[in-house]
Chains A and B, each alone.
Chain A
Amino acid sequence: MERMEDDKLILYFGHTLIVLGAHETEIWEMCDGEHTVESMSNIVVNKYTISQEKAFNNIIKFLNQLLERNLIRLCCD
């Protein structure tokens, strides 16, 4: 379950709340089974002033946090 509060996206999962800021929410919304980490980081690099390496690492770090809490699964083709 999720809902927006001000500029934050609040995820309610397993009696826990996870609060996502604007950038995290953008990544969360790309966790749709279609995007790869690379395509996510390309989108971020084209939108914001950030290096490819930094964007990639930040996204990986965030996805790992979601993975740890079983909020996402990794799909392999």
Chain B
Amino acid sequence: MYVPKSPFVLGMEITTQCNLNCPHCVADADSRGKKIPYDKAISVIDEAERIGVKDLVLGGGEVLLYDEFFNLCEYALIKGLNVTFSSNGLLIPKEIDSISRLKKHNRMLRVGISLDGPTPKIHSYFRPEDTFEAAIRAISLLQNEDINVHVLCVLNKKNIKIIPDFLEFLLKLNVLDMRLLPLMPFGRGKLHREEMLSPAEFYYILQEKNKWINEFKINIGSNMPWEFLFYPLDKRHPHPCVAGYLRFWINSDGNMFPCAYMSDIPLGNIYTDSISDVWLNSPIMRNLRDPSLLKGACSTCAYRADCRGGCRGLAQFLEGDYLCADPYCPIANQKLLK
């Protein structure tokens, strides 16, 4: 499989400051937070542009609390990068004019709004209840400005039972793009491992997903590398976990990671290393790209070369080794059950 010379997508956690304090937050964000200094963030964008990164994902925390946020976005857009950021929606009304002004650069600008269900009660499983209305208002304001908006939904034990209702609700809001994000055992999510979906709950979502896409005409994004196993044989196009292959992640300390879900495996730091050098030469990145090193069920799996073991973050956190099989993979699970 071809390994690109640099990541296509670069994620940068510019701040862990947040106006909320959600119990499941993978960034462990709070009111104080940390941030990547503006000048350093600019130099990261410079290198990203130079090495061919196409998409910049700005994450937090709540990115709208970052003082120079719009200057940073503008700089990236001028450099020719597409920019995506996510928000809980609370500050969108205050910043909508500044967001709208970013459109003039004619690059792709996408905003993800966190919304976990079609009612305040369901939405508030992890989040404060009053953020429901804020999220709805934010979506509407962004749509009025013709900004590409998608919904980010963290799956939980409650909302997985009403996904069709949620999709119907999103359709009424004219939201045509949603991402399903499983609760991951990272950041404060580590304290809520019991809230992670079981493999069976996961499989239910993936089995139903295509039916829902056809029924509601909403693009439903989820990205488990072994999702292809839920497609008919002739429609299976396995692709590997994006860690080490397509994406790269920088946290607010400047540490570099294969992805946001591998936050206990730092590969380097933006204050001392170049992204390009780490991408090409980090021994961990090389290991991630070598399917022959995969262990357990993956070591004999027919899909090993293309799937490369599923989510490397889940393997690391749940199995203690990023070269183990993703414990949520149906094939690995079957073997474990035996």
Contact = CB atoms under 8 A, between A and B. Distances in A.
Interface string B51-83: 010110000000000000000000000000010
Given A10-B2, A10-B4, A17-B2, A3 B223 contact: no
Contact of A15 (B5, B82, B223): B223
Contacts of B223: 15
A49 interface: no
A73 interface: no
A12 B5 CA distance: 13
B242 interface: yes
A10 B223 CA distance: 20
Contacts of B5: 5
A1 B29 CA distance: 31
B205 interface: no
Given A1-B54, A3-B52, A10-B2, A69 B237 contact: yes
Nearest to B8: A12
Q: Is the interface of B mostly helix, strand, loop or mixed?
A: loop
Contacts of A10: 2, 4
A19 B52 contact: no
A3 B5 CA distance: 11
B54 A16 contact: no
B237 A17 contact: no
Nearest to B2: A19
Q: Is the interface of A mostly helix, strand, loop or mixed?
A: strand
B301 interface: no
Q: How large is the interface on A (under 10, 10 to 19, 20 to 34, 35 or more residues)?
A: 10 to 19
A1 B246 CA distance: 12
Contacts, number: 32
A15 B246 CA distance: 8
A3 B54 contact: yes
Nearest to B4: A10
Interface string B232-248: 00000101001001100
Contact of B237 (A8, A16, A19): A16
Interface in A1-53: 1, 3, 5, 8, 10, 12, 14-17, 19
Contact of B4 (A5, A14, A69): A5
A15 B52 contact: no
Contacts of B239: 14-17
Given A15-B239, A69-B237, A1 B2 contact: no
A1 B8 contact: yes
A15 B224 CA distance: 10
A17 B242 contact: no
Nearest to A1: B54
A14 B240 CA distance: 11
Interface string B243-259: 00110000000000000
A1 B237 contact: no
Contacts of A8: 2
Contacts of B2: 8, 10, 17, 19
Nearest to A18: B2
Given A5-B4, A15-B242, 7 more contacts: A5-B5, A5-B52, A10-B4, A16-B239, A17-B1, A17-B2, A17-B245
Interface of B: 1-2, 4-5, 8, 52, 54-55, 82, 223, 237, 239, 242, 245-246
* 7 closest A-B pairs by CB: A16-B239, A1-B54, A19-B2, A12-B8, A3-B52, A15-B239, A5-B5
27 contacts: A1-B8, A1-B54, A1-B55, A1-B82, A3-B8, A3-B52, A3-B54, A5-B4, A5-B52, A8-B2, A10-B4, A12-B8, A12-B246, A14-B239, A15-B223, A15-B239, A15-B242, A15-B246, A16-B237, A16-B239, A17-B1, A17-B2, A17-B4, A17-B8, A17-B239, A17-B245, A17-B246
